[in-house]
Structure 1
Amino acid sequence: MPDAPEDLDAWVTALAESLGLPANQHPIGLLLDLTRDAAHGVVRPAGPLTTYLVGLAVAQGMTVEDAVARARSSIDEWRTDPPEPA
């Protein structure tokens, strides 16, 4: 399985086209960094779920930059004041 940046770029382009999305308008680095922050700052499965929720917010009209900023703020709040276990 390839693991080079150009392979990731090719995958994102192919998937975007398959989903009917523009091929070259995706902030890969920004989203990967957010996924890492959520996985390490909350719990590992939070990474992809956070990115998915950011995508939904963008689909509803929020800019990706604003959605990522809000998600990072939520991660920071979670780190400093996590909820008590149920």
Structure 2
Amino acid sequence: MSELDQWVAEITAELGLDGVQVPTTEVLDMARDVAHNVLRPGAPVSAYVLGLAVAAGADPVEAAAKISALALRRSTLDS
């Protein structure tokens, strides 16, 4: 288990989310896309918004992909 996996296990347990599957790769990819194509502070805020979407019933992988796509489109528009 990686250090990141251990951290995720600790925080999910602390928050009473035992057994919740966290799509770590997708969340990190989304944060990277936002940080590099929009602005750095947008990455953690986007991760929070992703959490709100998931809490409202969105699929986490699909929602992360939508945010990434939006960030990549925005970068293209700025070029």
Could you tell me the TM-score, scaled by structure 1's length?
0.80
Residue number among 59, 62, 76 corresponding to 2:58 in the alignment: 62
% same residue = 37
- The Cα shift of 1:70 comes to 1.5
Which has the higher relative contact order, 1 or 2, with Cα contacts under 8 A spaced 6 or more apart?
2
Instruction: Mark the structure with the bigger radius of gyration.
Output: 1
Q: Helix, strand or coil for the counterpart of 1:81?
A: helix
How many residues align? The count is: 78
Structure 1: give runs of 5+ residues left out of the alignment. none
- The Cα shift of 1:80 comes to 2.7
Deviations 1:50-84 (A, max 9, x none): 111111100000101221122122112321335xx
Corresponding position: 1:47 with 2:43: yes
- The Cα shift of 1:16 comes to 0.4
Confirm or deny: 8 A CA contact 1:38 1:44 kept in the other structure. Answer: yes
Q: How large is the RMSD of aligned CA atoms in angstroms?
A: 1.6
In the alignment, the residues of structure 2 paired with residue 9 and residue 42 of structure 1 have an alpha-carbon distance, to the nearest angstrom, of 27
In the alignment, the residues of structure 2 paired with residue 8 and residue 65 of structure 1 have an alpha-carbon distance, to the nearest angstrom, of 18
In the alignment, the residues of structure 1 paired with residue 58 and residue 20 of structure 2 have an alpha-carbon distance, to the nearest angstrom, of 19
Match of 1:30 in 2: 26
Could you tell me the TM-score, scaled by structure 2's length?
0.86
Confirm or deny: 8 A CA contact 1:12 1:23 kept in the other structure. Answer: no
In the alignment, the residues of structure 2 paired with residue 18 and residue 59 of structure 1 have an alpha-carbon distance, to the nearest angstrom, of 17
> Which 4+ stretches in 1 moved above 2 angstroms?
none
In the alignment, the residues of structure 2 paired with residue 62 and residue 79 of structure 1 have an alpha-carbon distance, to the nearest angstrom, of 25
Q: Which has the larger share of helix?
A: 2
